[in-house]
């Protein structure tokens, strides 16, 4: 399985990353948000074509740079996924599935600290942040072994986090931290062994020490950087044997 950080609707980078995942013998790509932005037809069609060429399927969590008005209007299939193309599926917040014995959980969302520079409904959308209902429902649904997120839970300070936020108003920084705190509440309830996230555009690894759990947290890089910083490939034997990610993976 390949896990990829932000692509920001970058068609060339996304298709190259898909080819790279196949070269690394992945059979599924989980992308960690800031995936589609406005979800243009050329972008989705190009990625779907690359996925078909390399016999892969891609599931993505929502980031903060997505057109939520469009995305959330797409129907949820009986298996709980949103199918944007034959091989591209949205993993809604709180979506759970299993690879073998490994319980997986998707939790998208983050706060755009640069929203003061963006037009609402055109370049940022209020649905980007986690809600109190999200926290209650996802944390209350029980544990998982691994989490795929866009934001980073509070309690972790990755490289360049402070520098990336320098100069933004305190109110915006506080709102961003509030979303991270909500994600941490979910993590406290779920107690995963591993967590991967995007959003901060730097690859690193750290340990989150909870009261009664310990989580290895991996941040991944963005498009325009080296693909090896944007993508990691996990041996499925380490996570449990692969089960299909919805009908798009079925043989």
**What is d(CA 136, CA 127) in angstroms, rounded to the nearest whole number?**
17
Which of 107, 203, 125 lies closest to 159 in space, CA to CA?
A: 203
**DSSP annotation of 8:** T
Convert the pLDDT of each residue in 133-180 to its tens digit: 999 999 999 999 999 999 999 999 877 676 666 678 889 999 999 999
Convert the pLDDT of each residue in 42-81 to its tens digit: 999 999 999 999 999 999 999 999 999 999 999 999 999 9
**What is d(CA 209, CA 46) in angstroms, rounded to the nearest whole number?**
41
Q: Is residue 248 pLDDT above 70, yes or no?
A: no
CB contact set of 168 (below 8 Å; sequence gap of 6+): 113, 114
Q: Which domains does the chain have, with CATH numbers?
A: 2-249 (3.60.21)
């Amino acid at each position: 399985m390949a896990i990829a950080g932000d692509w920001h609707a970058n068609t060339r980078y996304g298709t190259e990353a898909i080819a790279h995942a196949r070269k690394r013998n992945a059979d599924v790509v989980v992308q960690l948000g800031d995936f589609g932005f406005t979800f243009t037809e050329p972008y989705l069609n190009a990625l779907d074509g690359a996925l078909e060429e390399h016999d892969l399927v891609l599931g993505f969590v929502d980031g903060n740079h997505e057109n939520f008005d469009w995305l959330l209007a797409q129907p949820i299939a009986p298996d709980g996924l949103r199918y944007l193309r034959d091989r591209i599926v949205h993993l809604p917040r709180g979506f759970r599935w299993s690879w073998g014995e490994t319980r997986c959980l998707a939790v998208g969302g983050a706060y755009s600290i640069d929203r003061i520079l963006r037009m609402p409904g055109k370049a940022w959308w209020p649905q980007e942040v986690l809600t109190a209902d999200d926290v209650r429902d996802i944390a209350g649904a029980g544990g998982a072994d691994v989490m795929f997120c866009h934001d980073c839970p509070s309690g972790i300070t990755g490289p360049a986090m402070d520098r990336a936020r320098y100069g933004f108003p305190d109110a915006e920084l506080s709102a961003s931290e509030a979303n991270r705190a909500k994600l941490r509440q979910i993590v406290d309830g779920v107690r995963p062994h591993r967590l991967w996230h995007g959003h901060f555009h730097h690859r690193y690894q750290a340990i989150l020490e909870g009261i009664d759990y310990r989580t290895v947290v991996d941040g991944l890089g963005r498009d325009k950087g080296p693909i090896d910083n944007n993508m990691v490939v996990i041996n499925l034997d380490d996570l449990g044997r692969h089960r299909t990610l919805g009908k798009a993976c079925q043989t």
